[in-house]
Structure 1
Amino acid sequence: MIDNSGHEQDETRSDDADGRIATDGGVDTDADVDYLEAEVNLLKPSTPFMRDHLKQVWAGFIAWVILTWGPVTATYLAPEVMTQPIPVLNFPAHYFSVAFLAPTSSLVLAYLYSRSRDKLDEKYGIDHSTAAVESQDDVDADAAATDGGESR
């Protein structure tokens, strides 16, 4: 891995044509960044995409912890309230929240994460499609090998 933690002043630093100082692996918001090839550091994200994605991951994780472990914790802390039947469904509150709310909320959170990740990929121009195949003279574009080998 490349060590980008040093920020010593260098007498031979290079400036680009605009007079801006070349970066040492930090964030350069004006340049085209290959977001899929950049170094990943969860504690100090190196690109705007990674910072935004990390915000989504943490928000989803916190929501998941609250929705999944909240009913269990509430039942432990206040059993007399959580074991009483809910007036509409006539089930105990802890049963309904653990058996229905937690799994359903996990599915909803997964859906919301996938939608927000698609929007984030769209925002930063990341394309995950593998449908683009360059055609060559001797290889038919429709006959691409599916096992990674060459098609004949």
Structure 2
Amino acid sequence: MTENDTHTDGSAVETDGGTVTNAQKHRETDYLDREVNLLKPSTPFMRDHLKLVWGTFIAWTLIVWGPVTATRLAPETMTSLTVLGFPLHYFLVALGGPTGALVLAAVYARSRDQLDDKYGIEHGTTETEPSGEATAADGGVEE
């Protein structure tokens, strides 16, 4: 990893090492200044999230590419069976794939919300007090 030890500005990069010796150490880690090892995440949240990402990616691959692969391997079976008047391969690719991907997106969002609740991550917005000055459309202050 010698070629990735510095940023373009020349500052040194310190990796997280993929392990945590102190359970609270990850709370002190500034992940914007460190490289994060995606193959060996250092925090329990990152490990659980990575499992969720890989699990949904594998499910997506099966949903989207499964019917195509099955049609390639067994074309007679996939074209002779019908669902709602359509050949099975057409039904699965045209309706099953997009619907499955949409359902999978909802499952991922729900699982991610549960993961955030488990680790106490809140996604709130901060409200700012109005300054009394009108803001112009270009970002400047109207005079």
TM norm. shorter chain > 0.5: yes
Partner of 1:33: 27
Q: How big is the shift at 1:130?
A: 2.0
Relative distance call for 1:143 and 1:81 in structure 2 (3 A) is farther
Relative distance call for 1:34 and 1:96 in structure 2 (3 A) is farther
Structure 2, unmatched stretches of 5+, are 1-12
Partner of 2:104: 109
Q: How big is the shift at 1:47?
A: 0.4
Q: Which has the higher strand share?
A: 2
Partner of 2:65: 69
- Equivalent pairs counted in the alignment come to 123
Q: How big is the shift at 1:116?
A: 0.7
The AA in structure 2 aligned to 1:33 is R
Q: How big is the shift at 1:131?
A: 2.6
> Displaced runs of 4+ in structure 1, greater than 6 A?
none
Q: How big is the shift at 1:29?
A: 2.6
Q: How big is the shift at 1:105?
A: 0.6
The correspondence of residues 111-150 of structure 1 with structure 2, limited to 5 A, is: 111-133=106-128, 141-143=129-131
Structure 1, unmatched stretches of 5+, are 6-24, 134-140
Identity across aligned pairs (percent)?
52
- The SS at the match of 1:127 is coil
Q: How big is the shift at 1:126?
A: 1.3
Q: Rg larger in 1 or in 2?
A: 1
Tell me, yes or no, if the aligned pair for 1:68 and 1:98 is still in contact at 8 Å: yes
With normalisation by structure 2, the TM-score equals 0.71
Q: Which has the higher helix share?
A: 2
The AA in structure 2 aligned to 1:81 is T
Partner of 1:51: 47
Calculate the aligned-residue CA RMSD, in Å: 3.0
